[in-house]
Amino acid sequence: MAAHEESGYDVIVLGAGPVGQNAAERARAAGLTVALIERELVGGECSYWACVPSKALLRPVIAIADARRVDGAREAVSGRINAAGVFGRRDRYVSDWDDSGQADWVRGIGATLVRGQGRLDGARRVAVTASDGQTSWLAARHAVVVCTGSRPVLPDLPGIGEARPWTNREATDSSCVPERLAVVGAGGVGVEMATAWQGLGSQVTLLARGSGLLPRMEPFVGELIGRGLADAGVDVRVGVSVRALRRPGGGPVTLALDDDSEVQADEVLFATGRAPLTDDIGLETVGLTPGSWLDVDDTCRVRAIESDWLYAAGDVNHRALLTHQGKYQGRIAGAAIGARAAGTPLDTAPWGRHATTADHHAVPQAFFTDPEAAAVGLTAEQARRAGHRVRTVDVEIGGAVMGAKLYADGYAGRARMVVDLDREHLLGVTLVGPGVTEMLHSATIAVAGEVPIDRLWHAVPCFPTVSELWLRLLEAYRDSIP
């Protein structure tokens, strides 16, 4: 194995996905030199096998569903979705899995792109093994930031190797529509991919181990999405688990369930959780456990390391496995590193403190199902468990908002607002219905900013938009006060 001599940088970032890119960009903005290391494609999971391709697949499905909800438009919808056209659209948005454009962006911000498997090799030192087997060493004067993301977890079930299951990667990069698809798992990946592939022409069976879909959201979210999936033709089964799989000879796969029934499918997708991609990044050389999540403080500094040189942002720290939160953490980490390198107090930045405060109470999430689901902050149950004294108000969107009625005939959706009674501001907002994801940021501002209820009355929604829902929620809250 050939070796190259050591190079020095102020900051070394492991992983050039969106999280690593944001950390690198913010460190560069602070005047620091940065090396960005990537073993696969620059742009990471989000750009090529998750957020971008999944939404590219989902948008045509949702667009057709929206058209069918409007008199005069539904008559123009005929035939099936052109799957080849959808796949072509997806391929454009992932640049045919060519990362040269994103690699150019890295160079454009003045960072050095290093391709290969990066591994810690002691404090502030990283070894990079390239595809040709050559190893080079990099030294970080100030910090190393781990942004290596996560991988799908497959359960240890009899026959799972023989079944050759899909993960999120196959579910988003495949260009052949299986006649029958079984989806195991009812979190975000499961419900979105059930929506997409049913719309593309598969007969989908969705298997949920728990009592409902999207179990971490308000209970009515799973109810409405389950109803929407069933209306679209998905066979939704809750409270069932897979016991074993069979795929003899590479043909169809059989899933044996714990209720003694079986499901036959041409492909099976497991969307059953994620694990950190930290098993092969040299954690053992700095006293940490390979394959573990990395516990961090609010600047994304790894707590287990005494000095302030090791940071972890994005999925690896297990705070919020969402691309936008990871990018937010990357920005915070890069800015915190820059401030510490300059000896500047962290709370004096002109744009705000270098701390990931939104990770604690204002995490937004959106699912592009039919209907869409969006939420930020705490559910009512989470708020009560956290010790808050709360009042919850619900609004049926289609019945209360003229903009929703104009958006879709027979608009079906619901919204919930969770109010802290002691401080009179919002702790959480949940929305379900066509098009609601585009209203999520207004809710996020209200929750993250702790905007008082009496001030929200003066944020006047435009008529006739769906966002007039905000007025209806405030009115429902006013009417609920004894």
- Is the alpha carbon torsion for 83, 85, 86, 92 positive or negative? positive
Q: How far is CA 297 from CA 294, 304, 322, 360, 364, in A?
A: 10, 10, 18, 11, 20
Q: Are 429 and 446 in contact (CB under 8 A)?
A: yes
* 86 annotated ligand binder: no
Distance CA 431, CA 129 (A): 46
Alpha-carbon torsion, ordered 148, 152, 158, 164, to 10 deg: -100
Q: Residue 192 — φ and ψ, nearest 5°?
A: -70, -45
The runs of H, that is alpha helices, within 68-182 are: 83-93, 100-108, 160-163, 168-173
* 253 annotated ligand binder: no
* 150 annotated ligand binder: yes
Distance CA 310, CA 126 (A): 12
* 369 annotated ligand binder: no
Distance CA 426, CA 447 (A): 5
Distance CA 311, CA 343 (A): 17
Structure tokens at 30: 């602070």
Structure tokens at 187: 């979190």
Question: Would you tell me the crossing angle of helices 83-93 and 51-67 to the nearest 10 degrees?
Answer: 140
* 20 annotated ligand binder: no
Distance CA 218, CA 212 (A): 11
* 273 annotated ligand binder: yes
CB-count burial class (<10 Å; 0-12, 13-18, 19+) for 70:
middle
* 118 annotated ligand binder: yes
* 72 annotated ligand binder: no
* 148 annotated ligand binder: yes
* 5 annotated ligand binder: no
* 315 annotated ligand binder: yes
* 326 annotated ligand binder: no
* 190 annotated ligand binder: yes
* 188 annotated ligand binder: yes
* 352 annotated ligand binder: no
User: Three-state DSSP class for 423?
Assistant: coil
Q: How far is CA 450 from CA 89, 358, 424, in A?
A: 40, 11, 9
Structure tokens at 336: 């915190």
Q: Are 126 and 286 in contact (CB under 8 A)?
A: no
* Binding annotation for FAD: 55, 118, 148-150, 315
* Binding annotation for NAD(+): 185-192, 273
* Binding annotation: 55, 118, 148-150, 185-192, 273, 315
